[in-house]
Amino acid sequence: MDGGEGIGQAFDGHLVGHVVVVGFHAQLGSQIEFSYPSLRGSPELRTPGLSDSQDVAGEAVGRRTTYASQPSGDWGQLPEEWSFLPHLALPDGAHESEYDTVYFCLPRDIHCVACFRQTNAREAMTIDAGGGGEEDERIASRGSVQKSVVLMCKRPIYGILGERLSGVVRAYFDQGDFARTDVLADLFHSVNKSLSKPYWNNFSVLVHGLDLRTLVLTLKGDLLRVLKLTLLEKRVVLVSQPVRAACNAVACLASVFPAAFDRMSPNEEALDSNMEDQALGLPLEILSERDNVIFQPYAHLPVINNLLLESSKGCVLGTSRNCGVFLKTAMASNDHANLPTCDAIVDVQTGQTTIREEVVHLCALTKQESLFVEDLAYAAGGAGRENESPGTIQYVSSDDNLRERLRDYLRRLLRSTACINGVLQKSGPMGTDTSAATTTAAQVTPGSKVDWSPVEAYNTLFVKMWALTTMNGCQWAAKCEPEVKKAQPPPSPVVLRSSQNFNNNFGLTSVWSWWTEEPRNTTSATSQSAVERMSAASARAVEGMSDLIHKIESELKSIETVIREKVEEGKKTISAQGAPDLDNKLEARVNSDSGDITNMKTPQARVLKPTREATESLSPVPLFRGGDL
């Protein structure tokens, strides 16, 4: 099979191409033990039809009976382009965790989700997933079994596949016999059936399970700095231990850029695009393997060396904290020629960020941006949550809202940049000659006759460097429609609410941060898109409903408190005056609290007179609720 063929037919319309098992061999390291269907030595993946008895290569599509009989290692041939797959599936520091999930990419736009676990070797009947037993003793010489199950797919659906895979891997380990791979074959068919094309062709499916809210709370202002460095095509490394947090952070950053996930699946239907964004020059040409900024949720040290030493491209990648320590040492070293160096290292669990001194001023935040990030973090923290009931919708602190606000920041940045005379006419390093990546000092340094005031709120130096010197900035200028330039630039980014004392019209603490000097219902709203206005209206509607629910709950609590106080007061009065005339006292209490029913008496009613001890043991009457009947 020709490995140079396009990947458009690689999966025959299905999401998952292969399920691969990688085991750690004590003497040989990470080794592939099993693949369903078998790998064929070509990066063009093909999967069997879900209703076929034969796959496209003529091999039988079977369950455990087919693959359990295969000798160890009879899983096919791994393409040379994917030689790093076994090492990425079992990441650095995997032995320190009982289980974890990792995401990574392979050439030809293949996205992988791997879930690894480890268990005591004594609990396993057969250790090799390929079915061989002669190697078991050497494989388990460390006393534990470490394996990773990998789903190779055509879309970056990391969150959903990670959740689905983790349960299956747990069941696979609980069997105690790793040669029983029928559960993995079932997973392959089940995922391809349940995640059929009408289902996974939805942007919400792509971002499901990504935790942007935690990333905003942890990084705060550094999140915006990382976005700026990405636009500047710098090298950004996110670290964590275990590595899942770093993988999630890289995927979250990619989701902030409109249609970035679409660019990672170039032969698939676009899910995150609209006419308005296209007129604005979106998507930006970053984060795919064809662009000048590489996206890699997890990379071990050999991949990092390839990206940082042998390539001049920028990157956003995740790795382990151990690799981060090595890279930080290399960043501080003067011998940059022989060590892999990056521009920023961010620990996504502690929030500690190290940025190379030469680029600190390029990604510096302005006052307006600092206020925006402060308010964004306040929203992510659950503003006003202390007054919320458990069932109240928290749209303001949701990933969807946070992602849309960050995208709104990017769109305003682009609109403001497009209004600068001459920017959209510059071919810069793009054009047909990529060697023209340099700009004159007059273009970049202060003192130029060009009016850069529309972008002062975004750091003028950053905008100059991005729009005039980066590949993706010049590609954007070539794609952006001229009509965008004719529009008025968005107002300067000013946050209306940055303290908890600001209340909106509904009386609820406002957490919505506007990138405008006026509320959106003024004349400035005329320059905003219909999508933005709908998003703002939805947020205000949710806040209004939340406030209404708060008020109703508050009134109910007040009524319940009054009733309890009345009952307690009645008990004290009865206890002081004695129980013989209890019925008269209770009737008087009811008459005094009942207004127009003072003359109402219960005819022929026989009142049982309790003893003083029984009266003192009475408990307060609970508040009546409709569900009690």
- Measure CA 184 to chain center: 27
pLDDT recorded at residue 28 = 79
Average pLDDT, the chain: 74
d(CA 188, CA 461): 50
Q: Give CA–CA dist 554/559, Å, rounded.
A: 9
- Consecutive sets of 10 residues in the chain, 629 residues long: mean pLDDT of each? 37 80 84 88 54 33 32 66 92 81 94 92 72 55 81 93 94 88 93 82 89 95 96 96 95 96 88 89 91 93 87 92 90 74 94 94 94 90 58 73 93 92 63 37 51 91 94 93 79 47 34 38 39 51 65 76 79 63 52 45 45 48 40
Where would I find the H helices in 149-297?
158-174, 182-194, 197-200, 203-207, 212-219, 221-231, 244-256, 260-263, 275-279
For residues 437-463, one letter each, b for 16 or more C-beta atoms within 10 angstroms of the residue's C-beta and e for the rest, the string is eebeeebeeeeeeeebebbebbbebbb
pLDDT value for 598? 39
Residue 581 pLDDT: 56
Residue 381, amino acid: G
Residues 6+ apart with CB under 8 A from 357: none
pLDDT of residue 617: 47
Q: Please give the span between the terminal C-alpha atoms of the chain, in angstroms, as a whole number.
A: 71
Contact between 2 and 46 under an 8 Å Cβ cutoff? The reply is no
Amino acid at 78: L
Take residue 202 and report the two structure tokens written for it.
């939805």
Is 233 in contact with 165 (CB distance < 8 Å)? Answer: no
Output the pTM of the full model. 0.73
* DSSP state at residue 386: G
**259 touches 305 (CB < 8 A):** no
Give the pLDDT of residue 439.
41
Do residues 221 and 365 touch, judged by C-beta distance below 8 A? yes
How confident is the model at residue 340, as a pLDDT? 83
* Per-residue model confidence (pLDDT) at position 330: 87
What's the CA gap between 35 and 148, in Å, rounded?
A: 12
On the 0-12 / 13-18 / 19+ scale of CB atoms within 10 A, 273 is middle
User: 260, 221, 214, 261: which is closest to 240 by C-alpha?
Assistant: 214
The residue type at 182: D
Going by C-beta distance under 8 Å and a sequence separation of 6 or more, which residues neighbour residue 419?
A: 454, 485, 487, 488, 489
> Quick one: pLDDT at residue 194?
87
